Chain A
Amino acid sequence: MKAPSRSPVSLRYQTRQALQGYGFVALWMVGFVLFTLVPLVETFRYSFHHVIVSATGVEMTFVRWQNYTRALFTDPTFVELLIEYIVETLVSVPIIMIFSLIIALFLNLKLPLKGLLRTVFFLPVIITSGPVIRELVSQGATTVPQIARSPLVLEFLARLPRALRNPAEYLMTSFILILWFSGVQILIYLASLQKIDRSLYEAAAIDGASSWESFWKITLPSLSATNIVVAVYTLITLSHFSENKLVRYIYTQTYDIKGGIGYASAMSFLYFAALALILLMIYLALRSRAPKV
Chain B
Amino acid sequence: MAVHPLTKSLPSNWQARLRNGLAQWPIYRDRARGLLLGTRAHYGLLFVVLVYALLIAIGFVYLYPLLFMLITSLKSPTDLLNPMVQWVPTEWYFGNYVRAFRVLNYPSTLLASIMVSVVPSVLQTAVCSLIGYGLARYRFPGKSLLFALILATFIIPPQNTVIPQMLTYRRLGLLGTLWSLVLPALGGQGFRSAIFILIFYQTFLSLPRVLEEAARIDGASEARVFFQIAVPTALPAYVVSVIFSIVWYWNETYLTVIFLEGGIQTLPMQLSRFVQAYQNLYPPGTVNIFDRLNEAIKLAGTFLNILPLLVMYFVLQKWFVESVERTGITGE
Where the two chains meet, the residues of A that have a C-beta atom closer than 8 Å to any C-beta of B are 14, 17-25, 27-32, 34-36, 38-40, 42-43, 46, 53, 58, 103, 106, 109-111, 113, 115, 117-132, 134-136, 139, 141-142, 144, 175-176, 179-180, 184, 187-188, 190-192, 194-195, 205, 225-229, 236, 239-240, 242, 247, 250-251, 254, 261, 264-265, 268-269, 271-272, 275-276, 279
Of B6-14, B29-37, B126-134, the one with at least 4 CB within 8 A of chain A: B126-134
Give the contact-size bracket for chain B.
Answer: 35 or more
Residues of B141-200 at the interface with A, using a CB-CB cut-off of 8 Å, are 141, 143, 146, 149-150, 152-165, 167, 183-184, 186-189, 197
What CA separation (Å) do A20 and B212 show in the bound complex? 14
- Residues of A close to B59: CB separation below 8 A: 117, 120-121
Contacts A24-B130, A225-B331 aside, 12 further interface pairs with beta carbons under 8 A come to: A24-B131, A32-B149, A35-B183, A36-B161, A103-B58, A122-B320, A127-B310, A129-B252, A179-B61, A187-B324, A191-B328, A250-B159
- Grouping DSSP codes into helix (H, G, I), strand (E, B) and loop, the A interface class, with mixed when no group exceeds half, is helix
Residues of B44-95 at the interface with A, using a CB-CB cut-off of 8 Å, are 48, 51-52, 54-55, 58-59, 61-66, 68-69, 72
- Residues of B close to A128: CB separation below 8 A: 251
What CA separation (Å) do A39 and B52 show in the bound complex? 51
Is A32 in contact with B187, judged by CB distance below 8 angstroms? yes
- Residues of A close to B55: CB separation below 8 A: 103, 106, 117
Is A31 in contact with B189, judged by CB distance below 8 angstroms? yes
- 20 A-B residue pairings within 8 Å (CB atoms): A14-B139, A20-B138, A21-B137, A21-B140, A24-B133, A25-B146, A27-B188, A35-B165, A43-B161, A119-B317, A120-B62, A122-B321, A127-B66, A130-B253, A225-B331, A242-B252, A250-B159, A264-B159, A269-B160, A279-B155
Write the nearest CB–CB distance from B62 to chain A, whole angstroms. 6
Where the two chains meet, the residues of B that have a C-beta atom closer than 8 Å to any C-beta of A are 40, 43, 48, 51-52, 54-55, 58-59, 61-66, 68-69, 72, 127, 130-131, 133-135, 137-141, 143, 146, 149-150, 152-165, 167, 183-184, 186-189, 197, 222, 226, 247, 250-254, 268-269, 271-272, 274, 295, 298-299, 301-302, 305-306, 309-310, 312-313, 317, 320-321, 323-325, 328-332
Contact of A124 among B62, B140, B143 (CB under 8 A): B62
Q: Which of B149, B184, B189 has the most CB of A within 10 A?
A: B189
Write the nearest CB–CB distance from B234 to chain A, whole angstroms. 14
- Residues of B close to A126: CB separation below 8 A: 247, 306, 309-310, 312-313, 320
What CA separation (Å) do A194 and B325 show in the bound complex? 9
- Residues of B close to A187: CB separation below 8 A: 321, 323-324
Contact of B64 among A19, A141, A191, A261 (CB under 8 A): A141
Is A239 in contact with B188, judged by CB distance below 8 angstroms? no
What CA separation (Å) do A269 and B268 show in the bound complex? 27
Closest 9 CB pairs of A and B: A31-B187, A24-B134, A21-B138, A129-B251, A225-B331, A18-B140, A42-B164, A39-B161, A242-B254
What CA separation (Å) do A239 and B155 show in the bound complex? 9
- Residues of A close to B302: CB separation below 8 A: 131-132, 135-136
What CA separation (Å) do A265 and B162 show in the bound complex? 10
Write the nearest CB–CB distance from B160 to chain A, whole angstroms. 5
What CA separation (Å) do A127 and B197 show in the bound complex? 24
